[in-house]
Amino acid sequence: MNDTPKIAAIITPDSRANISRGTIDSIIVQSLKPRRLIVVYDKSQAETIVAWQDRIKVAMPTSQLQCIEHNPDATFVAARNDGLNHVCDCRYIHFVNSDIRLPEDFYEKATRDLMKRTDCVVAMPTRLKLMEAKEREIDLGNFIKNPWLWLMRSKLEIASAMLLCRDAVDEAGKFNPTLVLGSDIDFLARIANQGAGCCIADCVASHIPSQSKADLLSQFPDHHRRWALIYENVLDTYGARHRIARKTYRSILAEAWYRAGRRLLNRERVEEARDCFMRSLSWRLINPSFKYLIRLSRLRKEMHSSENCSIDDK
């Protein structure tokens, strides 16, 4: 049985020479160790891929290597979708590519595909650039105007806000070890395996202090609360409060904690749900959490009364 994390690394075609060689180098140096390494290439890169297959197998013996020949006349959208179609059961998908050109409907397609899986994390080494996106099922027009606001307001199951947004490979195709490090990837992979939700945003995991990572895992063993706390910490660290209106910022965080509380309450984890609702109220006083706190307070009183009655009977 393969014990490697459920990570799929996808390398897609690029117009620059030997870019696949550079991105493969970056995976090896980062110690990404994906369960599946999917290389989507065109005929012009065939010799490069064949030459590097042996090195990949030696460096990553536990990874399932899959090379997909792609029609060079087709679009980048088709190439990336080819990769997505072969991720199998991998829940953490990492696009390894230094190409900053993002096809207009790629984000929509990837998001729609990934929403079919309820526990998935998407990381990309480059910031999302949607210059010609059209508004369809997902309102990408607002994403272009204000990515932060769109991501936080969207109805997707976004439970955190992280993304490896810096290039792991420079323009010359060389790996830059000072940028994206394996520790970021490992941390996000652990969160992906323990949490539920789709994590798509533009923060870097290293913005969270290393000691905080351990604290999150120990103090918040339940992933719903941990997701909400990471969400809050990253927003604060990355300066989101300076990018959007204060009222909107508070409403978004209140909603994140409220969602976590509802999920915990559905699992009958009353005390943890109460903590989430209280945190939600700390960000916005008027929200549905208040109603649930009143309900939980009444439930607690009823339980306390029943306990007293049982003691008196004895």
DSSP secondary structure string for all residues of 132-199: S---SSS-HHHHHH-HHHHHHHSSS---------S-SB-TTS-B-TTSS-HHHHHHHHHHHHH--EEE
**Total domain count, the chain:** 1
Q: Is residue 197 in a domain?
A: yes
Q: Is residue 275 in a domain?
A: no
Q: Is residue 62 in a domain?
A: yes
In the chain, the percentage of residues whose pLDDT exceeds 70 is 29
In the chain, the percentage of residues whose pLDDT exceeds 90 is 0
Q: Is residue 261 in a domain?
A: no
**Which range has the worst mean pLDDT, 4-13, 35-44, 140-149, 210-219?**
140-149
Q: Is residue 114 in a domain?
A: yes
Listed residue (159, 166, 227, 165) closest to 199, CA to CA: 159
User: 20 lies in which domain range?
Assistant: 7-207
Q: Is residue 289 in a domain?
A: no
> Is 298's pLDDT higher than 80?
yes
Quick: pLDDT tens for 37-69.
Answer: 887 777 766 666 777 777 777 777 878 888 888
Quick: pLDDT tens for 1-28.
Answer: 345 556 677 776 554 444 455 556 655 6
Q: Is residue 183 in a domain?
A: yes
Structure token pair of residue 141: 């027009």
- Asked if 252 and 152 count as a contact pair (C-beta separation under 8 A), the reply is yes
> Is 294's pLDDT higher than 80?
yes
Between 248 and 293, the more confident residue is: 293
Confidence of residue 100 (pLDDT cuts 50, 70, 90): very low
CATH code of the domain in which 51 resides: 3.40.50
CA trace torsion 287, 196, 201, 238 (10° rounding):
70
Diameter of the chain measured on Cα atoms: 84
Q: Is residue 45 in a domain?
A: yes
